[in-house]
């Protein structure tokens, strides 16, 4: 019934990749852990490489498992470094993720070899366009490219998880002490979030690469953060950001004949700049107007 053109599939792929990133990114920003997302996206590499060396198939779900393990491992490493010594969290992040990333790069050469498309290039940039050439399979009465399916599953699973654990997640993000006193386990929540984040990052890996995924994680949440004080609205806005930037991004990349994944991030950046200027809560212009009004009010009083 649906016969979309390749660009339509690419937009959908980008959205499926961007949506879970956007939702998790909201919590990363609230927990001030944006750069842990950076660390996880880089550290997923050795997990993927080792898993690939065992199963020998780039589309195997075991790769997600390997990446999740590596993602949790890097958060553990970061905590072990900055809790047990006087090294601060930012340095600990830097040490942990560069080590794991370097390990991944070395392991690629030894375990994978040059036969497979798993190299620095795909780590840095990723590629969405393969969706357009992927095998078409039939699903729920619609013909969809098979590359879309895992991304779609991850996106839907993330939305469900966040809806189900909304209370726990929110409470432990804002006040882990209170969450603990209510009987939730902030530590478990923390590591579960990191594991889900790793899976999401890896699902996005092939499409956008390890670095651009950071933009997908942080930009929507940051944009929404400048627009509202309410968490639910922030989640919705970040999802909207993901949707708009996926569609606009493909248009941009077609217009300039550039890389699709980078186009999506550029569209997202433009939205962020817009929010920075005119965002209703924290926009520069809105605040300037408010300041002006305040001074006027004062002069009226006098």
Partner 1 sequence: MSLDLFHYLALTLGQKAPIAAICVGFCCGLLGCFVVVRRVALVGDAISHAVFPGVVAGFIWSPDRNPWMIFLCALVAGLFGVVVVRAIVSSTRLKSDAALGIVLASFFAFGVFWNSTQQLAGVKGYLFGDLTTIADGDLWMMTGATAAVTTLIFIFLRPFRVLSFDEGFAIGLGYPVRFLNALFFGLLAFAVVVAMQAVGVILVSAMLITPAATAYLLTDRIQKMMGLSVLIGVFAAVGGWWISGLDNRLQTGPVITLLASFIFALIYLFAPRHGVLAKFLRHAGRKSRVHRENTLKSIYRILEGEGFKVAGVGVEQLAEVRKLSIEDVLKDGKDLVDNDEATWEEGKTAIYLTSPGWRRATEIVRNHRLWELYLTDQADYAADHVHDDAEKIEHVLGADTVRKLERDLNFPEFDPHGKPIPSLEATLTMEKTIGKQEGTGY
Please, what is the minimum distance in Å from the beta carbon of residue 115 to partner 1?
A: 14
| Nearest-angstrom CA–CA distance, 152 and 162 | 16
Using CA atoms in the order 251, 256, 261, 267, what is the torsion angle rounded to 10 degrees?
A: -60
Nearest to 231 by CA among 157, 159, 170, 161: 170
Find the shortest distance in angstroms from Cβ 69 to partner 1: 19
CB of 171 to partner 1, least distance (A): 20
Nearest distance in Å: CB 99, partner 1 = 4
List interacting residues with partner 1 (CB under 8 A): 29, 32-35, 37-38, 42, 81, 84-88, 90-95, 97-99, 101-103, 105-106, 109-110, 120-121, 124-125, 211-212, 214-215, 217-219, 221-222, 225-226, 253, 256-259, 261-263, 265-266, 268-269, 272, 276, 281-282, 284, 287
Q: Annotate 87-106 with DSSP letters as a single string.
A: --HHHHHHHHHHHHHHHHHH
Query: 65 or 200, CB closer to partner 1?
Result: 200
Bridge partners of residue 96, in order along the sequence: none
Task: Tell me how far, at minimum, the Cβ of 230 lies from partner 1, in Å.
Answer: 14
Identify which of residues 190 and 259 has a Cβ nearer to partner 1 in the complex.
259
Q: Which helix (H) or strand (E) holds 226?
A: none
Q: Which two tokens stand for residue 233?
A: 């609205």
CA distances 108 to 18, 49, 53, 105, 124, Å, are 27, 6, 9, 5, 15
Nearer CB in complex with partner 1: 184/260: 260
Q: Measure the CA–CA gap between 139 and 167, rounded to whole angstroms.
A: 34
Residue 205 phi/psi, 5-degree rounding, is: -55, -55
Q: Least distance from C-beta 235 to partner 1, angstroms? A: 16
Minimum CB distance to partner 1 smaller for 124 or for 139? 124
CB nearer to partner 1: pick between 144 and 237 = 237
* Choice between 117 and 287, CB closer to partner 1: 287
């Amino acid at each position: 019934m649906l016969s979309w053109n390749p660009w339509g599939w690419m937009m959908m792929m980008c959205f499926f990749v961007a949506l879970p990133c956007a939702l998790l990114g909201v919590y990363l920003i609230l927990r001030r852990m944006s750069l842990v997302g950076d660390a996880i996206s880089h550290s997923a590499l050795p997990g993927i490489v080792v898993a690939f060396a065992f199963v020998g198939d780039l589309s195997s779900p075991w790769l997600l498992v390997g990446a999740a393990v590596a993602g949790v491992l890097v958060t553990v490493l970061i905590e072990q470094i900055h809790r047990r010594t006087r090294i601060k969290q930012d340095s600990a992040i830097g040490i942990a993720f560069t080590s794991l990333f370097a390990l991944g790069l070395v392991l690629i050469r030894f375990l994978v070899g040059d036969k497979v498309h798993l190299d620095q290039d795909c780590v840095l940039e990723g590629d969405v366009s393969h969706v357009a050439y992927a095998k078409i399979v039939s699903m729920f009465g619609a013909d969809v490219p098979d590359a879309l399916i895992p991304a779609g599953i991850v996106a839907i699973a993330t939305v469900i998880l966040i809806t189900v654990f909304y209370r726990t997640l929110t409470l432990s993000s804002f006040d882990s002490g209170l969450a603990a006193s209510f009987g939730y386990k902030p530590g478990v929540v923390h590591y579960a979030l990191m594991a889900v984040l790793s899976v999401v990052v890896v699902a996005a890996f092939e499409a956008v690469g390890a670095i651009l995924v950071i933009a997908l994680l942080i930009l929507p949440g940051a944009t929404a953060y400048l627009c509202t004080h309410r968490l639910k609205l922030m989640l919705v806005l970040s999802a909207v950001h993901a949707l708009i930037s996926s569609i606009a991004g493909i248009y941009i990349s077609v217009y300039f004949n550039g890389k699709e994944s980078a186009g999506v991030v550029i569209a997202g950046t433009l939205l962020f700049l817009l929010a920075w200027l005119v965002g209703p809560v924290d926009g520069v212009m809105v605040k300037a107007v408010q300041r002006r009004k305040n001074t006027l009010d004062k002069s009226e009083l006098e």
